[in-house]
């Protein structure tokens, strides 16, 4: 069965291009790719780009590019999506050039998220170099990272029909947690390669298309130094350091200048379909991931240390 193989890139439309460039390069440690007609691109590895940032009012995700292994697989996938009655159009040469891919087809998921099915995402002309990281970003066969998208009232059956039946994703697990009395977070996590999840969905309160994008680093020290850089820059945090029980990611969540979040993580689980068992968990966080205001309150409430006994 034809299927997508990995998350290749995302496209954001943002109102503050200068803030975004600072956020990506100076705080997250990405490498500036190209300055484009309407924005810039960011690199996290040898690929020409992983984030394409364009100027505009949306302050949201505007496209997700999924790579397919080769031209024959892409043709078969497009045929399968069309046979299900979903509109797919072939992108022209200008779009393929802007995305730096060989071939591109454009469709949309049931929430209206633009999906680009591509082959041949190009490498950059120069090796990847971060001015901030001790190590690098984890990409490779697991793709650019993962993202959590909002269901906006679309039923799980409907969006899984698109992502599983058409694009070939598999369920990793589900987490259902009553986060406050009467408020239940219910997220489902999907994979298309060894990365525990490439996309997850939940009916969460934010009105944007995306809740967060996760970038993973190879060296745990880079989570700490990125945490310090974001804190020193007074970038607002959604959640401080913590860990997820399903993908074991050790991470923090910082708000982008557009108001959705980036999860900055290390140690994400690689799964093997031969042995993986789908589970339902009842906790989003094994420990930590506390909102910054909760941490501030707790630290402020702690009694002053009795230094005389030390
Ligand atoms: Fe995440």
134-160 per-position pLDDT tens digit: 999 999 999 999 999 999 999 999 999
181 vs 80, more confident: 80
Does residue 89 have a pLDDT over 70?
A: yes
- CA of 212 from ligand 1 middle (Å) equals 7
DSSP bridge pairs for 216: 265
Kindly give the distance from the C-alpha atom of residue 305 to the centroid of ligand 1, in angstroms, as a whole number.
36
Query: If you measure from the C-alpha of residue 213 to the centroid of ligand 1, how many angstroms do you get, rounded to a whole number?
Result: 7
CA of 241 to the centre of ligand 1 (A): 13
Confidence of residue 309 (pLDDT cuts 50, 70, 90): low
Cβ neighbours around 159 below 10 Å, total: 21
For 183, the enclosing helix (H) or strand (E) is strand 183-191
Q: Which helix (H) or strand (E) holds 171?
A: strand 170-180
The pTM of this model reads: 0.96
What would you report as the CA-atom Rg of the chain, rounded to the nearest whole angstrom?
20
Task: Please state, in angstroms and as integers, the Cα–Cα distance from residue 136 to each residue in 131, 247, 250, 270, following that order.
Answer: 11, 19, 16, 17
Question: If you measure from the C-alpha of residue 243 to the centroid of ligand 1, how many angstroms do you get, rounded to a whole number?
Answer: 10
Task: Indicate the average pLDDT of the chain.
Answer: 96
Q: What's the gap in Å between 93 CA and the centre of ligand 1?
A: 33
* Separation of alpha carbons 300 and 304, rounded Å: 9
Between the CA of 306 and the centroid of ligand 1 the distance, in Å, is 40
- Cα–ligand 1 centroid distance for 135 (angstroms): 20
Exposure string over 45-81, b if 16+ CB within 10 A, otherwise e: bebbbbbbbbeeeebbbbbbbbbbeeeebbeebbebb
Assess whether pLDDT exceeds 90 at residue 305.
no
Among residues 218, 309, 299, 207, the alpha carbon closest in space to that of 264 is found at: 218
Q: 10 and 51 in contact (C-beta within 8 Å)?
A: yes
Tens-place pLDDT, residues 3-56: 999 999 999 999 999 999 999 999 999 999 999 999 999 999 999 999 999 999
């Amino acid at each position: 069965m034809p299927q997508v193989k990995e998350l290749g890139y995302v496209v954001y439309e943002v109102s503050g291009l200068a803030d975004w460039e600072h956020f990506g390069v100076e705080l997250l440690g990405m490498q500036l790719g190209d300055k484009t007609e309407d924005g810039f691109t960011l690199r996290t590895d040898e690929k020409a780009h992983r984030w394409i940032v364009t100027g505009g009012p949306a302050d949201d995700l505007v496209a997700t590019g999924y790579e397919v292994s080769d031209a024959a697989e892409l043709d078969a996938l497009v045929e399968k999506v069309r046979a299900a009655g979903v509109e797919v159009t072939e992108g022209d040469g200008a779009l393929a050039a802007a995305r730096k891919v060989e071939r591109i087809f454009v469709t949309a998921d049931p929430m209206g998220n633009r999906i680009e099915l591509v082959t041949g995402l190009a490498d950059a002309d120069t090796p990847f170099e971060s001015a901030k990281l001790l190590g690098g970003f984890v990409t490779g066969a697991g793709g650019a990272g993962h993202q959590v998208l909002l269901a906006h009232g679309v039923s799980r059956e409907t969006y899984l029909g698109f992502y599983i039946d058409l694009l070939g994703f598999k369920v990793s697990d589900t987490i259902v947690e009553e986060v406050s009395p009467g408020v239940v977070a219910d997220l489902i996590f999907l994979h298309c390669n060894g990365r525990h999840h490439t996309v997850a969905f939940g009916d969460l309160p934010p009105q944007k298309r995306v809740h967060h994008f996760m970038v993973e680093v190879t060296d745990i020290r880079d989570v700490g130094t990125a945490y310090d850089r974001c804190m020193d820059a007074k970038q607002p945090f959604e959640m401080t350091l913590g860990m997820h029980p399903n993908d074991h990611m050790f991470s923090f969540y910082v708000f982008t200048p557009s108001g959705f979040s980036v999860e900055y993580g290390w140690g994400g689980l690689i799964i093997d379909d031969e042995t993986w068992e789908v589970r339902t968990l009842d906790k989003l966080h094994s420990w930590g991931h506390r909102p910054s205001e909760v941490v501030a309150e707790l630290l402020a409430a702690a009694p002053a240390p009795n230094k005389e006994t030390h």
